[in-house]
Amino acid sequence: MRTPLRGAAPALFALALLAPALLGGCWARDADAAAGGDGRHVLTLPIRSAGPGSMDPARGSTTYDNEACSMVYETLVQYAYLKRPLVLEPLLCTAVPVPTEDGRVYTFELRDDVRFHDDACFPGGKGRPMVAEDVVYSWKRLADTSIGSKNWWLLENTIEGFDDWREAQNAAESFDYDAPCAGLRALDEHTLEVRLVEPVQSFLNKLAMFQLSVVPREAAEAYGEGLSRHPVGTGPFTMAEEDWKTSKSLDFERNPNYHDDRYPSEWMPEDEARGLHLDAGKRLPLADHVRINCYVQDQPMWLEFRTGLLDYAQVPAENFVDCIRKRTKTLKKEYRDEGITFHPVPLLDFIFRGFNMEDPVVGGYDDRGRKLRQAMSLATDLKEFNDTFYNSQNIVYDGMIPPGLAGYPAGGRCAAAYTGPDLERARRLLAEAGYPGGEGLPVIEYYTSLAANSQEQTEMTARQLSKIGVRIKPILLEFPQLIEAINKKKAPFFSFAWGSDYPDGENNLALFYSPNVSPGSNHYNYSNPEYDALYERIRSMAPSPERDEIYARMRDMVLEDVAFIGSMARTRDYLCTPRLRNFKPTEDFWNWPKYLDVGPPREQD
């Protein structure tokens, strides 16, 4: 039973009082129920939002879309679950190909045992085998502007002839998916050839992103926009349309026809202490059913975890000191005694407050717009946010490239940034922008998500900016509606967090490449010809000191223009119940529920 999100304060308070008495029995009871009785293994997992906006890979763009889509759809390659640092491995292909012809030609040999989910879109309701033409069709969907894809940026200027093909098809009376594209061809049923315009270092990493999942043409044509709620893929789980209860939960059932996919037989040395090697070679998925509960607010999630109703939880900031020792960053004894384990996960994280550079007030590249943004950045105290809302755990840094990647500034600081707080300089720049003390400056609409402590963070944003005379009007929306507003360029000033799609600063620099403007990943609608030229250069460059220097130049261009205020990178703290097996959380990819299982704790754990 799921605790209601609204109007539930008395019930939640009662649960909180009962939690210590219930916990020990809950873990044991639920482990027995999940892995015994009828024999079904059931996972119950959280998603910290109202859920996905779309389960159509071509239309999806957010982390929450990724979490849901990765349950039912698959890509040609994936990241190895247990290996660190990240390593690509084949999923729908038989091997990760080595490019030929100076790094421009990739030939993928596809598996011959992969079938789409059984669905009414197929004759007799029986899912058919996946073939190479399905990959071609799925990638072509990203080029079709009529379906509202946000993801063309992933393939733009990448595949030989594809950009011209896209332009021609979108200009034609009807979009012809069967029209050939020179660089994207099915050579036979199980062989795909991709010819690139030039070597692109990130190409294979992009193929692990959920937006490039394989979708059957029959489903896309049968359901149209309805595919967003009626997914049909090749993945380890299936989902019926009625099993998505908006803003409440999503239910996934084991795919009975899933191809032969096995638990990893390679792992890191430290994994053995936690028993992560014990299921090596077992056929996936290990669970029979997965329920994902949606939590717009954190406290219902936390209380359901504490009463045994969730298999893991991300620790809300306000509960951090309840379970984690702040000085040592270790789990408190009372939690360890319950068999709970602690998993801190550093994120490739870019938390920011962004500006729409096309907005008539906060946008633009003249002194008025630029100095206004510089003043607002200098008025912002990210340390206060970190101390108040993140238990001082975040890394506060300059730029858009997170710690651990090339382009991250030494010590997290660089001279081009307008890092606050510096109220005296901020007031001077605001006056130079033509708004002394905020006089004549309209109230600025500020869009952010209606989740967790967003209201409190918004109040702090308003208070900090008011010190120099800048006023904001908060507009708090559920995350799918927030992204929709930003994609439509309605938000002058906005905030959310971007997690890198793959471990290369090029991915973060792509956020400011002008062809990627909204509804693409350039939510700031930033446009700088010099920056664009450098981005087009680095795409084909192998890692080198020269490339690192260009990354830094590009970073500093955006910092000087202040397309955003930032940045911070989080460490996400996960707690795991003793019944959940094989838990090695990451937010770099989201198909890992197929490796999870539930059952009584193992002696080796």
pLDDT in tens, 536-583: 999 889 899 999 999 999 999 999 999 999 999 999 999 999 999 999
Query: Within 13 Å, how many C-alpha atoms sit on residue 459's CB side?
Result: 5
Domain at 349-569: CATH architecture = Roll (3.10)
Question: Is the pLDDT score of 10 beyond 80?
Answer: no
- Residue 380 — φ and ψ, nearest 5°? -90, 130
Query: Is 30's pLDDT higher than 70?
Result: no
In the block, tokens 């729409």 appear at 356
pLDDT in tens, 363-384: 999 999 999 999 999 999 999 9
Per-residue confidence at 520, pLDDT binned at 50, 70, 90?
confident
* pLDDT above 70 for 70: yes
pLDDT digits (tens, 9 = 90+) for 31-56: 444 544 578 999 999 999 999 999 99
**pLDDT above 70 coverage of the chain, percent:** 93
Q: What is the predicted pLDDT for the residue at 603?
A: 59
What residue spans of 436-487 are helical by DSSP H? 454-466, 479-487
pLDDT of residue 25 exceeding 50: no
CATH code given to domain 74-228: 3.90.76.10
Q: How far apart are the first and last CA of the chain?
A: 29
| CB-CB contact of 463 with 469 (8 Å) | no
CA pair distance 521, 184, nearest whole angstrom: 23
The CATH H-level superfamily of 9-52+237-345+574-598 is Periplasmic binding protein-like II (3.40.190.10)
Q: If you average pLDDT over residues 210-224, what whole number do you get?
A: 98
Residue 538, H or E segment: helix 529-538
What ranges do the domains of the chain cover? 9-52+237-345+574-598, 74-228, 349-569
Confidence at residue 24, expressed as pLDDT on a 0 to 100 scale: 42
**Nearest by Cα to 16 from 297, 291, 322:** 322
What is the crossing angle of helices 454-466 and 382-389, to 10°? 150
Is 106 a residue whose pLDDT tops 60?
A: yes
The residue whose two tokens read 């190409």 is 203
Cα of 176 vs its chain's centroid, Å? 31
| CA proximity to 55, closest of 182, 198, 223 | 223
